[in-house]
Amino acid sequence: MKYESQKVALPYFYGALALFGVQLLVGLLAGTVYVLPNVLSELLPFNILRMIHTNALIVWLLMGFFGAAYYLIPEEAERELHSPKLAYIQFGLFMFGALAAVVGYVFRIHEGREFLEQPTWIKVAIVVVALMFLYNISMTVLKGRRTVITNILVMGLWGIALFFLFSFYNPTNLALDKMYWWYVVHLWVEGVWELVMASILAFLMIKMTGVDREIVEKWLYAIVGLALFSGLLGTGHHYYWIGTPGYWQWIGSLFSTLEVAPFFFMVVFAVKMVLKGGRDHPNKAALLWSVGCAVTAFFGAGVWGFLHTLSWVNYYTHGTQVTAAHGHLAFFGAYVMINLAIFSYAMPHLRGVAPYHQTLNKASFWLMTGGMAVMTFALTFAGVVQVHLQRVMGMDYMTVQAEVAPFYWVRLAAGAAVFIGAVLYLYALLGPVPAGRKTAGMGAAVQPAE
Amino acid sequence: MTERFTKAAARNIFYGGSLFFFAAFVSLTAASHIYVVNTGTDSKGLTDSVARGKHVWEKNSCINCHTLLGEGAYFAPELGNVWIRYGGDKDPEGARAALAGWMAAQPSGIEGRRQMPQFHLTEQEVNDLADFLAWTSRINTQNWPPKISG
């Protein structure tokens, strides 16, 4: 760690991990309700569980992005953060808003659009928090060294704030409501979030492989270019069946097929950088998460996205468990793993020690990733059976759900494995540092400026 | 990547291309907005009760169990065409009564069956919800879903 103010990343990482825990616990509960439907049905019905599961995910990923930005921007800009104090206040407000939202949901205080259930005052608070954050990092970047990484990262983060403004627009016409709802949801996760992800990945590659910055930055431009060229018109794959014109079937099919490209090139990029870089970085766990992130995102977002994105396929699969399978692996691969990668990389620096608990951290990687893979296969099989019975044979929804019940047991078991993996990860990151690792000796060897 | 593909070239392609595709996307959604209002949906039939019904739908977070035009949770049946499934296109009053009866009977309490909560809707709210679902069933969805089962 070169700059004192990078330390503001710590509370963000802790807060993100705490909400990650909430997300997984509630996810386990929701998975349990799938197989034992009478559980909690009066106290905390499924709609509330799912709201907490998805909202906790989105908020902790954002919190992780904020922390990652506060960690890497001083290092990239080669100066202290504009205002560490503002960053701490921002964290307090954001965490308070997140917890208030969760508690509110339990007491049925929420709005009703998927993922945007936050009451209006919390949405306003999110905008205030975002502006504090953007002011802080933009000032830091403007006064310091500009790099491609900071440019793309800051652009992505401004985009997140900008597109969130569409959450305040809720037209009475349902089709319009849906069309603009995707301006938040799709342009986030298949647009500007990819900018954030790719720039964090590029930062990690520079730090851990030692490959020349020029080369990494060229790759970064190419990857985020492909992401936006395909992802913007790729929004069309959400406009097939919601009252929008038929031409979206062609545009959406074509461009969302191309959405595989940036994820494919992220894999090529990560693997190539690791092979090319001669550096034997001691933080093998962080490297595993980084490369694993690119690979899993390629499968989850790329391959599983493509599986059901062509309009004539989507006509049958839209809104089935196939969608759920894709959603789970895509979010895990692209956004959960990039966060866990930067946490794994940054924590030893933030704690001023050499990389520690590497074996445990790597074990948690395999358990979580393996669990998510099994979950994805279970939901995919459930989805394919559902498509055939319900969409081809025309069988009743509830009857079909009873037919695919065994897959939901597999999904629950896989979820339990992910949960155990996450517990290992938390210990590997937050647990006491073994005596032999308490000096930052090895870290200093790869980062001479420290 | 080759030497000829410089960083400056990569940067220009990225910013220029992104601007171009964003402009294309915004133009197409503007055209779609007009299409939705004029052709895709029944704008004239979008009455106050339909609007109130949409609010009932949102207030009770129906989307976090059901799907509506395929979007939402996948825990409960698709409702974009539920009005048709209830026969509302032929017998609206029958469908309305069936919906009211269904809402009143929840939760079923049947062991091993997914439970829908009791939302304590007023008679007016159930009527508004029915109007909203009836209006939604008339959206031009390019013939989606493939079967009446949703």
Q: Which of residues 41-60 of B touch A (CB under 8 A)?
A: 41, 43, 46, 50-51, 54-55, 57-60
CA diameter of chain A:
66
- Please report the pLDDT score of residue A279 as a whole number: 84
Count CA atoms within 13 Å of residue A235 on its CB side: 27
| A87 min Cα distance to partner chain B (Å) | 30
Nearest to B70 among A219, A248, A319 (CB): A319
CB contacts of B62 in chain A (<8 Å) are 47, 112
CB A159 within 8 A of CB A192: yes
For residue A43, the one-letter residue type is: L
pLDDT for A415-447, tens place per residue? 999 999 999 999 999 999 999 898 875 444 444
For residue A230, the one-letter residue type is: S
> What gap in Å lies between CA B87 and CA B97, rounded to an integer?
11
Helix H or strand E encompassing A177: helix A174-187
Instruction: Calculate what percentage of chain A has a pLDDT beyond 70.
Output: 98
For residue A335, the one-letter residue type is: Y
| A191 min Cα distance to partner chain B (Å) | 11
C-alpha closest to that of A144 among A66, A136, A52, A12: A136
Category of A299 on φ-ψ map: left (φ > 0), alpha (ψ -120 to 50) or beta: alpha
Helix H or strand E encompassing A434: none
pLDDT band at B1 (very low <50, low <70, confident <90, very high): low
> What gap in Å lies between CA A210 and CA B35, rounded to an integer?
53
For residue A151, the one-letter residue type is: N
Are residues A221 and B11, on separate chains, in Cβ contact within 8 Å?
yes
**Would the CA dihedral through A320, A323, A327, A333 be positive or negative?**
positive
pLDDT for B42-79, tens place per residue? 999 999 999 999 999 999 999 999 999 999 999 999 99
Here the tokens at position A62 are: 């954002």
Residue A174 makes CB contacts below 8 A (sequence gap 6+) with: A243, B41, B54, B68, B69, B132, B135, B136, B139
Residue B150 makes CB contacts below 8 A (sequence gap 6+) with: A390, A397, B67, B77, B78, B79, B80, B81, B82, B85
> What gap in Å lies between CA A290 and CA A287, rounded to an integer?
5
pLDDT for A29-87, tens place per residue? 999 999 999 999 999 999 999 999 999 999 999 999 999 999 999 999 999 999 999 99
Q: In a 10 Å sphere around its CB, with 0-12 CB exposed, 13-18 middle and 19+ buried, how is residue A287 labelled?
A: buried
Are residues B37 and A172, on separate chains, in Cβ contact within 8 Å?
no
CA distances from B11 to A143, A203, A216, A220, B6 (A): 21, 17, 13, 9, 9
pLDDT band at A312 (very low <50, low <70, confident <90, very high): very high
For the full predicted model, state whether its pTM sits above 0.80: yes
Size of chain B, expressed as the number of residues it contains: 150
> What gap in Å lies between CA A167 and CA A177, rounded to an integer?
10
Nearest to B146 among A46, A246, A315 (CB): A315
Collapsing DSSP to helix, strand or coil, A358 comes out as helix
ipTM of the complex: 0.96
In A6-111, alpha helices (H): 9-35, 46-77, 84-106
Here the tokens at position A215 are: 């080369």
CB A262 within 8 A of CB A224: yes
Q: Residue A198: pLDDT above 60?
A: yes
> What gap in Å lies between CA A326 and CA A323, rounded to an integer?
5
- Please report the pLDDT score of residue B2 as a whole number: 57
> What gap in Å lies between CA A31 and CA A221, rounded to an integer?
40
Collapsing DSSP to helix, strand or coil, A365 comes out as helix
> What gap in Å lies between CA A57 and CA A158, rounded to an integer?
20
How distant is the alpha carbon of residue A158 from its chain centre? 17
Q: Count CB-CB contacts under 10 A for residue B23.
A: 11
Quote the mean pLDDT of chain A: 96
- Only one residue has tokens 């190539």, namely A272
Are residues A173 and B37, on separate chains, in Cβ contact within 8 Å?
yes
| A195 min Cα distance to partner chain B (Å) | 12
pLDDT for A240-282, tens place per residue? 999 999 999 999 999 999 999 999 999 999 999 999 997 889 9
Averaged pLDDT for residues A323-351: 98
Size of chain A, expressed as the number of residues it contains: 450
Pairing between strand B67-68 and B71-72? Answer: antiparallel
Q: Count CB-CB contacts under 10 A for residue A444.
A: 12
Q: Which of residues 79-98 of B touch A (CB under 8 A)?
A: none
Averaged pLDDT for residues A117-122: 96
> What gap in Å lies between CA B13 and CA B25, rounded to an integer?
18
pLDDT for B87-134, tens place per residue? 999 999 999 999 999 999 999 999 999 999 999 999 999 999 999 999
Q: Count CB-CB contacts under 10 A for residue A406.
A: 13
Chain A residue whose CA is closest to B61: A112
For residue B47, the one-letter residue type is: T
Residue B16 contacts A where some CB pair is shorter than 8 Å: no
- Please report the pLDDT score of residue A410 as a whole number: 98
pLDDT band at A1 (very low <50, low <70, confident <90, very high): confident
CB B107 within 8 A of CB B115: yes
